[in-house]
Chain A
Amino acid sequence: MRDYLLRRLVSVIPVLFLVSLMSFAVIWIIPGDPTAAFLDASSTPEDVARLREMLGLDKPPLVQMAEWYGRVLTGDLGQSILLRIPVLSAILERLPLTLLLATLALILAVGLGVAAGTFAATRRGTWADQSVMSLALLGLSVPDFWLGLLLIVVFSVQLGWLPSGGYVPLLDDPLGWAKSMVLPTITLAVVQVGFIARMTRSAMLDVISQDFMRTADSKGLSGLYIILRHGLPNAMMPILTVTGIIAGALLGSAVVVEQVFALPGVGRLIIGGILSRDYPIIQGGLLFLTVIYLLINLVVDLLYATIDPRVRLE
């Protein structure tokens, strides 16, 4: 187990190197630099050159890259050009919101998705199965930015129950915080609910037809007990795989949801970084998200072994 962990952690290094190299390449390929955020269209090329020098952008790209790698090795992701604070601080400041949003959405998606998928599987071929699966397909097909705006129109504008956007820190106002998280969480979760429901139904159908399920039934156990005790645990492997993928995908989708609901999270930080060509934010942000993504994958692999003792981590 320890060797496995060590090997997995070491294998992260080349992935991170490749990701950072690719982010550098993309930045070189795309024209434009951070001066565009500071200057308007009638600025002169001399104004641009002067500002480039002031922002330290006049160094050759290779020198900038070497300096960046040198700093990263000491744990320093650099300084944001626009925010003028260390990139790591900028990310860590916003990370709790994004992680919280993704976690709430994941809990909601897994809870609803597994319940809906199991319900549909136990009623295979009935109108209830068809209805749940149609709803799941609808959820999968709805674009999240559109759903977000629709929810805002209904719950904020028409009903006035929930705020249309913005973030309220938990410690400042717990009720306000809860309200500010409801619509973004639902928006983020809906697509994934459909995904998990379909996967759960399919996995459960495989399990339901197994001999041990029939045996349990013939012993006179209650239907709910059989599903919870014997069915779900055996259907968990594919659900867990999907959940792992979703956990990563949620971080990506959070970008859109943070934009619609004006939430100051990591996704919005990176989008802002890309739009204003704040290179250190782009590079640091991508590196950080890659680390999180790899960690999620590692955790999922470790969970396989916990759930199914037949899986050996070698």
Chain B
Amino acid sequence: MRPSLKALAFAFGLMTALVGVTPAVEAAGGEIVIASVQGPPSLDAHVTNAQVARNITLHIYETLYARNENAEPVPDLAEGVSVSDDGLTYTFKLRQGVKFHNGKEMTSADVVASIERYRKIGVSPALVAAIDTVSAVSPYEVAIKLKVKQSVFLDNISSPRAPIAIYPTEEAAKGANEIQYIGTGPFKFVEYKPDSHVTLEKFADYVPNPAYQKRDGLAGKKEVLIDRVTFRFIPEAGARTAALESGAVQIVETVDGPTAERLRKDSKYVVHDVLPFAFQVIKFNHAQAPSDDVNFRKAVQAALDMQEVMEISYSGINQVDGGWVFPKSAFANDAGLDQYNVADFEKAKAFLSKSSYKGETVTFITDNLRPNVDIATVVQARLAEIGVKVDIKVADWPTTSKIGFTKTGWNFWTHGFGIEPFEGPGTVMSAFVGGNAQMVADPEIDRIAKEFYATLDDAQKKELFKQFQQRMYDNMVAIKAGNYGLFQVTSDKVKDFVPFRIPRMWGVTLAP
């Protein structure tokens, strides 16, 4: 957008007393400033699974295993692991010479203390629920004994959701949110100014993992080539983009579609499409009529045109895909997909006539995130075509989630499933185990998940996941609308940035 001459003249007149200089250009090495949507609820990695928090904490802390570029668990602080024949004991061999930011060397005592802390106060207790005991075998060996065999144990130990970060023993002895932010990561904590920014600086004593030659997801070779990184919290979307365009920040975590298209045409910026980033899910409440009726749920699925749903909500960055894992996953299959994206009102009406729906108004809850509200609106319009009345209730996230975690007050709830598909099929399933998402347990889902977690056989796991996906459609447990992505934008001065779920600041350089 170019201002008119008059606007420029006005601006000039108003600002004559405050003639400034253009923003200073960062020197090589230098500091990268990232515009984030909001600040983290905590920098204690164990106690929050908020995305805004892990974007920062995964630069400060590390885990025994971490997810690689394909989201598979690979060694990070550990050199490797050996599993006992009965599949119950995992012995992790630790890397030697790994330093904490306070100068102390990491040993097995720190690992044991950190995992024990997570078992007590970790915000995703399911990750460590299978652990029976954790013990130090030697200064560089830790043995974890499980209560039962768990096929997803390494997935859990490497989860970035609320990472099982390794803290120094003395910090691990402290309660939730009481620690000093000391980890082993490539950046160390400098300053947290709430409502303003978090600043990290290069950890000079960091030794990149010698087992790797290059960056690989959240593991790999983490070589820091800049001096500092600041996460600046700018809640207003327009102000975030303006900060990028004025040179005040070099990376914006996410912009909307029209902004991405505008910036894409300007050679000063690079727009990175991170797709797929998350599932868009429409949950059903099975504890409340009429969504307790499978025929009603099938009527809803049959009425929806997923092309329309995804394009209206995530224009230009979506995939019409009904699989309950990302398309490139080894677990991707086509079970149940004949029931996906049907967009057939006649079929929908046929299901509806078999259901217990009596013309009552059903409730669709959503938080105020624009795409979610758009989806609720599209669903409302489509269902009106088959005679279903939908009342949309929009509130902020705390209110919506409070209602959505109970059995009354809602029939549909849409939101993204981000970290779950990234973590893999085990986590996706766990969202529906015991009726977590749908409020009424589905014995078939529970059975499949139990068998899936218990087997160490890959072929069997794939077969079980296929059964899970088929069941999701046959019982229409929830609707997977599609995959959406996000646009990360970097200034052309940021070199070697590779987009990932978490914007990684290692391996990145800043041109002068």
Q: Give the B-binding residues of A (Cβ under 8 A).
A: 30-34, 36-48, 50-51, 54, 82-84, 90, 94, 145, 148-149, 152-167, 178-179, 182, 186, 259-265, 268-269, 272, 275-277
What is the chain A residue whose CB lies nearest that of B52?
A37
Instruction: Report the minimum CB–CB distance from B511 to chain A (whole Å).
Output: 19
Q: Does residue B70 face the partner (Cβ distance < 8 Å to A)? A: no
What is the chain B residue whose CB lies nearest that of A82?
B41
Q: What would 19 more interface pairs be, CB under 8 Å, given A32-B401, A149-B242?
A: A32-B396, A32-B400, A42-B417, A42-B430, A43-B124, A47-B125, A47-B126, A51-B123, A84-B177, A145-B236, A149-B238, A152-B239, A154-B7, A155-B15, A156-B246, A157-B242, A158-B3, A161-B20, A275-B397
Instruction: Report the minimum CB–CB distance from A27 to chain B (whole Å).
Output: 11
A34 neighbours in B (Cβ, 8 Å): 398
Q: Does residue B245 face the partner (Cβ distance < 8 Å to A)? A: yes
Q: Does residue B213 face the partner (Cβ distance < 8 Å to A)? A: no
Cα distance A179–B49 when bound, in Å? 37
Instruction: Give the interface centre of B38, B51, B121, B238 by most chain A CB atoms within 10 Å.
Output: B238
The residue from A41, A48, A165 contacting B239, defined by CB atoms under 8 A apart: A165
Asked if B401 and A36 sit within 8 Å, CB to CB, the answer is yes
Cα distance A41–B400 when bound, in Å? 10
Asked if A276 and B398 sit within 8 Å, CB to CB, the answer is yes
Asked if B49 and A165 sit within 8 Å, CB to CB, the answer is no
Interface bits B50-61 vs A (CB < 8 Å: 1, else 0): 110000000000
The residue from A41, A163, A276, A277 contacting B417, defined by CB atoms under 8 A apart: A41
Cα distance A36–B396 when bound, in Å? 10
**16 residue pairs bridging A and B, Cβ less than 8 Å apart:** A37-B48, A38-B47, A40-B50, A42-B430, A42-B436, A44-B436, A47-B124, A154-B3, A157-B245, A158-B3, A159-B8, A159-B11, A164-B246, A166-B197, A167-B196, A276-B398
The residue from B51, B232, B434 contacting A262, defined by CB atoms under 8 A apart: B232
What is the chain B residue whose CB lies nearest that of A50?
B125
Instruction: Give the interface centre of B22, B51, B236, B430 by most chain A CB atoms within 10 Å.
Output: B236
A182 neighbours in B (Cβ, 8 Å): 15, 18
B195 neighbours in A (Cβ, 8 Å): 94, 264-265, 268-269, 272
Asked if A163 and B399 sit within 8 Å, CB to CB, the answer is no
In the complex where A51-B123, A157-B242, A161-B18 touch, is A37 in contact with B233 (Cβ < 8 A)?
A: no
Q: How many A-B residue pairs have CB under 8 A?
A: 184
In the complex where A32-B399, A42-B417 touch, is A166 in contact with B7 (Cβ < 8 A)?
A: no
The residue from B194, B396, B415, B417 contacting A264, defined by CB atoms under 8 A apart: B194
B161 neighbours in A (Cβ, 8 Å): 40
In the complex where A94-B195, A262-B236 touch, is A156 in contact with B242 (Cβ < 8 A)?
A: yes
The residue from A165, A259, A269 contacting B243, defined by CB atoms under 8 A apart: A165
In the complex where A47-B125, A262-B235 touch, is A164 in contact with B18 (Cβ < 8 A)?
A: no
B48 neighbours in A (Cβ, 8 Å): 37-39
Q: Does residue B42 face the partner (Cβ distance < 8 Å to A)? A: yes
Asked if B232 and A166 sit within 8 Å, CB to CB, the answer is yes
What is the chain B residue whose CB lies nearest that of A267?
B195
Asked if B402 and A31 sit within 8 Å, CB to CB, the answer is yes
Asked if B19 and A164 sit within 8 Å, CB to CB, the answer is no
A40 neighbours in B (Cβ, 8 Å): 49-51, 161, 418-419
Instruction: Report the minimum CB–CB distance from A233 to chain B (whole Å).
Output: 30
What is the chain B residue whose CB lies nearest that of A169?
B193
Interface bits B187-221 vs A (CB < 8 Å: 1, else 0): 00000011111000000000000000000000000
Asked if B49 and A38 sit within 8 Å, CB to CB, the answer is yes
Q: Does residue B76 face the partner (Cβ distance < 8 Å to A)? A: no
What is the chain A residue whose CB lies nearest that of B417?
A42
B395 neighbours in A (Cβ, 8 Å): 31-32
Asked if A30 and B242 sit within 8 Å, CB to CB, the answer is no
Q: Does residue B234 face the partner (Cβ distance < 8 Å to A)? A: yes
Interface bits B426-469 vs A (CB < 8 Å: 1, else 0): 01001100101100000000000000000000000000000000
A50 neighbours in B (Cβ, 8 Å): 125
What is the chain A residue whose CB lies nearest that of B236?
A260
B194 neighbours in A (Cβ, 8 Å): 83, 90, 264, 269, 272
What is the chain A residue whose CB lies nearest that of B230?
A166
What is the chain A residue whose CB lies nearest that of B23?
A160
Cα distance A32–B18 when bound, in Å? 46
Cα distance A60–B177 when bound, in Å? 23
Asked if A160 and B247 sit within 8 Å, CB to CB, the answer is yes
Instruction: Report the minimum CB–CB distance from B125 to chain A (whole Å).
Output: 7
A268 neighbours in B (Cβ, 8 Å): 195
Cα distance A179–B51 when bound, in Å? 33
What is the chain A residue whose CB lies nearest that of B47?
A38
In the complex where A45-B405, A262-B235 touch, is A162 in contact with B242 (Cβ < 8 A)?
A: no
Instruction: Report the minimum CB–CB distance from B483 to chain A (whole Å).
Output: 16
Instruction: Report the minimum CB–CB distance from A46 to chain B (whole Å).
Output: 8
Instruction: Report the minimum CB–CB distance from A5 to chain B (whole Å).
Output: 36
Q: Does residue B176 face the partner (Cβ distance < 8 Å to A)? A: yes
Interface bits B73-117 vs A (CB < 8 Å: 1, else 0): 000000000000000000000000000000000000000000000
Instruction: Report the minimum CB–CB distance from A41 to chain B (whole Å).
Output: 5
The residue from B196, B399, B415 contacting A30, defined by CB atoms under 8 A apart: B399
Asked if B22 and A165 sit within 8 Å, CB to CB, the answer is no
What is the chain B residue whose CB lies nearest that of A277?
B398
The residue from A42, A51, A157, A275 contacting B398, defined by CB atoms under 8 A apart: A275
Q: Does residue B1 face the partner (Cβ distance < 8 Å to A)? A: yes
Cα distance A146–B195 when bound, in Å? 21
What is the chain B residue whose CB lies nearest that of A256?
B236
Cα distance A163–B405 when bound, in Å? 42
Asked if A179 and B193 sit within 8 Å, CB to CB, the answer is no
Q: Does residue B248 face the partner (Cβ distance < 8 Å to A)? A: yes
Asked if A262 and B49 sit within 8 Å, CB to CB, the answer is no
